[in-house]
Structure 1
Amino acid sequence: MAKARVNYRAIIETIFFDHYREGITAFEFERSEIEQAAIRLNVDVPDNLGDVVYTFRYRRALPDKILATQPRGREWIIEGAGRSRYRFKLVNRTHIAPRDGLVVTDIPDSTPELIRAYALDDEQALLAIVRYNRLIDTFLGLTAYSLQNHLRTTVKGMGQIEIDELYIGLDRNGCHHVIPVQAKGGRDRIGIVQTAQDIRFAEQRFPGMRCRAIAAQFMEDDIIALFELTLRDDEVRVMEERHYRLVPADRLDPAAVRNYRD
């Protein structure tokens, strides 16, 4: 796996500098260039070409040589540009992370022990915990149902995407909401790429419904941060942030429960 990561970095660097010129703010490349770059570098051609792009879109920082070309206050992202096409794009740097000092709301833990025991990774565990404890309902103040998780689909102008989990919600006025949820482990970063694709998908597939884009992130001390996100001028903005801690029912503070207010 470590060798694959090294190869991925070399491949994405090669593609980037094949196109990059000083002052350029965006350029596109094709998936076939991944194979071509691997052959030129004399490294193994990845079995899944798309995994190279996926790694740097969602999992890992771009190589230092690419980061060194970023102007102050801006950063490179990779977004879909259609079927088998991608786009490097300079955007304003955004850093969304849980705030220190925010009030933590204790919630009775409804997670089945078997789920905790066998969750395969942080993302799977987080999605399951959010689902079983109905944290989307609590956070947004509506009734939400999980429609599908790890939904792979296509978005016009972006190509293939994957949504971590998709909920459909109903508020007290009868308004329907589509709620794409992205899950992040403690080290993963909430960024514009996944937020933008989630919102664009909802707009295209559910045009008559209100989109509520949510990010969930693990924090220290078993705390879960939930964010409601939106896009403004190609930047991710936080509309709401709440922190929740799952505890056994006998550890709930009765006084705190009585005093929780909006």
Structure 2
Amino acid sequence: MAKYEPIITWVFEQQAEEYGTDEEIPFHRDHIEQAMEALDIHVGNVPDIPYAYRSRRPLPDQIAQYGYTAVVIDDKREGEDPTYLFTKTEQLIPVPEVVDETHRTSIDALPDPVHEYIGKDEQGVLTQVRYAGLLDDFTGLDTYHLQSHLRMRVRGREAELDDLYVGVDPDGDHVALAIEAKGDGETLNRNQLIRNTRGIEDEPRYPDSVRTLAVKLDEEGYFYLFEFEVFRDGDEDRVETDRVWKYEFESE
């Protein structure tokens, strides 16, 4: 991961020469590959570099000093390969200091083998949420897991949703639950939540109604379930946090 900072800084400096530092600055995968060649640094998983600055870490000081906060994917631009942007719009959504509700649930909801080996990454988070039935409690629906790692198209470009559930309300109506998960050390990203929502909305095989959710694990092992409103504001997509519940797992 120490390799990422000089690469993303090189890309920024090269692109800033062309675009200036007043607005968002676009770049592509080939710019990252040019940086690796110029710096003689090899990274096997090239897309993980922009992803790291979308969800896992702040931009280097050499970039942040100009007011840039994160890297996002720009779905307005045409082309199969994603166009990334250095953006000045705040993207990362931290866990709030004050949550709407706090709940306690038993660690015994997890089978012993799962409890013994479960990881703290996003898939471990989703596994614990599923076994403990937290989504039923949080949404007030009967929820059914449909698919993990759902690949979809968002305005012509590939995206991946961590988990998709279908919820059923008391009247029998269905709603799609688009879920983003973040483990310890990762942060929720507005651009990613927007892409998740639009991707499910554009798929005719899923329910027309979509609720945008997220689950975040902190360093103390607490779970935070978020619900967001994703909406259009003029020409822009916006995200607002509707509510956050905290879940504390306890042994019985």
TM-score band (shorter)? 0.7 to 0.9
Partner of 2:128: 129
Out of 60, 63, 71, which is 2:60 matched to?
A: 63
The answer to whether the 8 Å contact 1:28/1:85 transfers is no
Q: Which protein shows a greater Rg? A: 1
Normalization by structure 2: what TM-score?
Answer: 0.84
Larger mean CA deviation between 218-227 and 57-66 belongs to 218-227
Helix, strand or coil: the match of 1:205? coil
In structure 1, what is the equivalent of residue 162 of structure 2? 164
- Structure 2 Cα separation of the partners of residues 64 and 216 of structure 1: 29
Residue in structure 1 matched with residue 9 of structure 2 by the alignment: 13
TM-score between the two structures when normalised by the length of structure 1:
0.81
| AA in 1 matched with 2:179 | V
Residue 259 of structure 1 aligns with which residue? none
Q: Secondary structure at the residue paired with 1:129? A: helix
1:83 lines up with 2:86 in the alignment: no
Cα distance change on mapping 1:227 and 1:28 into 2, 3 Å: same
CA contact (8 A) 2:149 2:163 kept: yes
- Asked if structure 2 preserves the Cα contact closer than 8 Å seen for 1:26 and 1:87, the reply is no
Equivalent AA in structure 1 for residue 70 of structure 2: W
Q: Give 1:81-160 correspondences, 5 Å limit.
A: 81=75, 82-88=79-85, 89-92=87-90, 95-100=93-98, 102-109=100-107, 110-156=109-155, 159-160=157-158
Distance 1:85 1:222, change over 3 A: closer
**CA distance, structure 1, for counterparts of residue 117 and residue 197 of structure 2:** 31
Query: Does the residue aligned with 1:163 lie in a helix, a strand or coil?
Result: strand
Q: 1:142 to 1:8 in 2, by over 3 A?
A: same
Contact 2:53 2:70 in 1 (8 A): no
Aligned residues: 240
Tell me the CA shift for residue 149 of structure 1. 1.3
**One-letter code aligned to 1:239:** D
Gaps of 5+ in 1: 252-262
In structure 2, relative to structure 1, the CA distance for the partners of 1:68 and 1:215 (3 Å cut) is same
Match of 2:188, SS? coil
Does residue 1:243 correspond to 2:246, yes or no? yes
Query: Among the aligned pairs, what percent are the same residue?
Result: 29
Q: Which residue of 1 aligns with 2:181?
A: 183
Where does 1:24-35 land on structure 2 (aligned, <5 Å)?
Answer: 24-35=22-33
Contact 2:144–2:165 at 8 Å: present in 1 too? yes
Q: 1:202 aligns with which of 200, 203, 210?
A: 200
More helix per residue: 1
RMSD: 2.4
Q: Deviations over 1:44-85 (max 9, x none)?
A: 2x2222122222222222211111111xxx733321545222
Partner of 2:39: 41
The superposition leaves residues 100-144 of structure 1 with CA deviations (integer Å, 9 ceiling, x where unpaired) of: 365422234411121122224332221111011111111000011
Shift of 1:174: 2.0
- Assess, with a 3 A threshold, how the Cα gap between structure 1 residues 225 and 154 changes in structure 2: closer, same or farther: same
- More off after superposition, 116-125 vs 161-170: 116-125
Question: Which deviates more from structure 2 when the two are superposed, residues 96-105 or residues 139-148?
Answer: 96-105
Gaps of 5+ in 2: none
Cα distance in structure 2, aligned partners of 1:132 and 1:101: 23
Kindly indicate whether the alpha-carbon contact (under 8 Å) linking 2:99 and 2:243 is maintained by their aligned counterparts in 1: no
- Counterparts of 1:101 and 1:150 in 2: how far apart (Å)? 28
> Is the 8 Å Cα contact of residues 106 and 245 (structure 1) preserved in structure 2?
yes
Query: Counterparts of 1:26 and 1:218 in 2: how far apart (Å)?
Result: 31
1:210-229 correspondence to structure 2 within 5 Å = 210-219=209-218, 222-229=221-228
Q: What CA distance in whole angstroms lies between the structure 2 residues aligned with 1:160 and 1:235?
A: 21
